[in-house]
């Protein structure tokens, strides 16, 4: 095991010349040696000094994070998630919290310089989190939230206990890949290794390589890289003759169960991980798969309506349009396009996303873009559109994305804030509230907002975010 107990110092980052008003953001000392230069930085235009009120906004986001975290700590800790309206809690598995919110939130605390909260949370995780549980977990969710969160917090803090937990978790999840095709089952029992859920989807099959791959590099165990890497290749191999994947596939037979193709939930992060696999690991074959897949996506799923760019649904075999829906989950795509160098499409699609957000005052889960009507009205505090604004700002330095971020932040406070944390909306039209603060709100939504306004808190060009916004760094 290549873990180190060396603690990487976390310093308060203040760029005197340009950001004297910045709040005490933490610049995690991620980048200690020349080795770390192995990952090519993304093209970034000449930096402009950020407008003065960005510092104020970053401080405000940081305060909202503290407010939301304290609400969780008061009413829900040690359970997985907070129910802010009833001031209760929710566990994903009966009687067994996996500290979902603390693990998901820890690297955000480190990046925000919330030293006291981070210290306590690290201790809580190291002392109380155990994966020795007789529970069947969703491989994808546990990988992106817990494995990703532990690895990122390990890289930011140097706390080897987090890496040890990640390795234990990785070992327990590995049996998920033991299907006849090598594509993982949806569920695996953490104690017995028993698998279930043979019908899966591209997102759950193809969104594992960043976390398992990082674990592989940090522990020098190749199996952690090879299994999810094979799963990606097996999935790609089953694309249709025109290059699209469907929505559901049986991992035992390799047969598609649903021919619907799109870039939304159930498929989304498969594309994201093909692109990022090349960036993080230098795996050129992943890059080739990414480019070929995205070319088919642009050809058959892209849709032009009244001068706006959208991505709808089509049959994976014929390419025939089956629906004109786009939603909150699709809104990650501008970020992926921007990091793959397709900035023009990324900008246009983000403009469409912003129209979707402003239609009812906050974005719906699903919209019919052809008639601009809300199809599914919930807003579960999703981060994707903010992730895209952050990424586009990093790549273009266009203040338009700061303006968008400001609007997102204002609407979140206006419609989703309660006296005891932030909550999902059941309906973006009526603004009726639900009762849950998903762990990704602290891992992603507030992190991307903060980083948008405090860009110096993390060197964007030298990290790869997993799909839960946990920044991973190539240190090998
Ligand atoms: C998060 O868990 C991840 O971003 C995932 O890729 C999609 N769903 C949520 C956020 O919307």
Q: Same domain, yes or no, for 230 and 370?
A: no
Give the pTM: 0.90
Q: Same domain, yes or no, for 261 and 373?
A: no
The neighbour count for residue 48, using CB atoms within 10 Å, is 10
* Pocket residue to mutate for ligand 1, from 142, 144, 381, most atoms within 8 A of Cβ: 144
Q: Same domain, yes or no, for 258 and 359?
A: no
Is the residue at 66 inside a domain?
A: yes
Q: Same domain, yes or no, for 237 and 289?
A: yes
Is the residue at 39 inside a domain?
A: no
Which of 380, 366, 271, 266 has the alpha carbon at shortest distance from 326?
366
Q: Among this protein's residues, is 419 annotated catalytic?
A: no
Here the CATH number for the domain that contains residue 175 is: 1.50.10.10
* Pocket residue to mutate for ligand 1, from 444, 445, 446, 470, most atoms within 8 A of Cβ: 444
pLDDT attached to residue 357: 98
Q: Which protein residue has the closest C-alpha to ligand 1 atom 11?
A: 382
Q: Among this protein's residues, is 15 annotated catalytic?
A: no
Is the residue at 285 inside a domain?
A: yes
Which of 233, 258, 227 has the alpha carbon at shortest distance from 245?
258
Q: Same domain, yes or no, for 259 and 389?
A: no
Q: Same domain, yes or no, for 356 and 296?
A: no
Q: Which protein residue has the closest C-alpha to ligand 1 atom 10?
A: 382
Report the mean per-residue pLDDT for the chain. 91
pLDDT attached to residue 50: 56
Q: Same domain, yes or no, for 153 and 236?
A: yes
Q: Among this protein's residues, is 456 annotated catalytic?
A: no
CA distance 387 to 382: 10
- Domain boundary (268, 302, 336) is at 302
pLDDT attached to residue 34: 31
- Domain boundary (257, 272, 302) is at 302
Q: Given the residues 365, 387, 456, 468, select the one marked as catalytic.
A: 365
pLDDT attached to residue 47: 52
Is the residue at 106 inside a domain?
A: no
Q: Given the residues 384, 387, 444, 468, select the one marked as catalytic.
A: 384
Atom of ligand 1 nearest to the CA of 387: 4
Q: Which residues line ligand 1 (CB under 6 A)?
A: 144, 269, 382-384, 440, 444, 467-468
Q: Among this protein's residues, is 384 annotated catalytic?
A: yes
Domain residue limits at 169: 130-302
Q: Same domain, yes or no, for 196 and 286?
A: yes
CB within 8 A of 82, min separation 6: which ones?
Answer: 71, 72, 75, 76, 88, 89, 90, 101, 420, 421, 436, 437
- Positions of the chain with pLDDT lower than 70, given as ranges: 1-52
Is the residue at 473 inside a domain?
A: no
Atom of ligand 1 nearest to the CA of 207: 6
Is the residue at 378 inside a domain?
A: yes
Structural domains of the chain, count: 2
């Amino acid at each position: 095991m290549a873990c180190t107990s060396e603690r990487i110092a976390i310093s308060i980052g203040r760029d005197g010349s340009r950001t004297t008003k910045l709040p005490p953001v933490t610049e995690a000392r991620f980048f200690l040696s020349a080795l770390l230069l192995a990952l090519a930085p993304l093209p970034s235009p000449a930096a402009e000094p950020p407008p003065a009120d960005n510092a104020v906004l970053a401080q405000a986001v940081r305060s909202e994070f503290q407010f939301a975290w304290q609400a969780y700590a008061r009413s829900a800790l040690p359970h997985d998630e907070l129910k802010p309206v009833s001031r209760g809690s929710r566990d994903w598995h009966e009687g067994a919290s996996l500290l979902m919110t603390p693990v998901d939130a820890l690297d955000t605390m480190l990046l925000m310089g919330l030293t006291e909260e981070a210290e306590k949370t690290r201790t809580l995780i190291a002392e109380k989190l155990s994966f020795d549980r007789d529970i069947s977990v969703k491989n994808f969710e546990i990988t992106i939230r817990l494995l990703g969160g532990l690895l990122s917090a390990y890289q930011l803090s140097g706390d080897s206990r987090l890496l040890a937990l990640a390795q234990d978790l990785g070992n327990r999840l590995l049996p998920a890949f033991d299907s006849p095709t090598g594509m993982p089952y949806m569920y695996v029992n953490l104690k017995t290794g028993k698998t279930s859920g043979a019908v899966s989807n591209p997102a759950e099959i193809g969104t594992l390589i960043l976390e398992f791959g990082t674990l592989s590099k940090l522990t020098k165990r190749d199996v952690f890289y090879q299994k999810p890497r094979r799963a990606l290749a097996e999935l790609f191999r089953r694309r249709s003759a025109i290059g699209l994947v469907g929505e559901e596939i049986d991992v035992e037979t390799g047969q598609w169960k649903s021919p619907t193709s799109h870039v939304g939930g159930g498929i989304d992060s498969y594309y994201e991980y093909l692109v990022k696999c090349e960036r993080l690991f230098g795996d050129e074959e992943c890059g080739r798969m990414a480019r070929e897949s995205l070319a088919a996506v642009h050809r058959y799923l892209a849709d032009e309506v009244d001068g706006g760019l959208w991505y709808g649904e089509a049959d994976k075999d014929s390419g025939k349009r089956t629906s004109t829906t786009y939603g909150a989950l699709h809104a990650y795509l501008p970020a992926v396009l921007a990091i793959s160098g397709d900035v023009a499409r990324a900008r246009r699609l983000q403009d469409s996303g912003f129209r979707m957000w402003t239609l009812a005052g906050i974005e719906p889960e699903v919209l019919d873009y052809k008639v601009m009507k809300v199809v599914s009205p919930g807003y579960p505090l999703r981060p994707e559109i903010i992730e895209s604004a952050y990424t586009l700002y990093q790549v273009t330095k266009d203040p338009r994305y700061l303006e968008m971020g400001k609007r997102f932040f204002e609407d979140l406070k206006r419609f989703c804030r309660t006296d005891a944390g932030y909550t999902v909306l059941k309906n973006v039209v009526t603004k009726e509230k639900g009762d849950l603060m998903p762990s990704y709100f602290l891992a992603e939504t507030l992190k991307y907002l903060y980083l948008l306004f405090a860009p110096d808190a993390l060197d964007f060009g030298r990290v790869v975010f997993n799909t839960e916004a946990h920044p991973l760094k190539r240190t090998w």
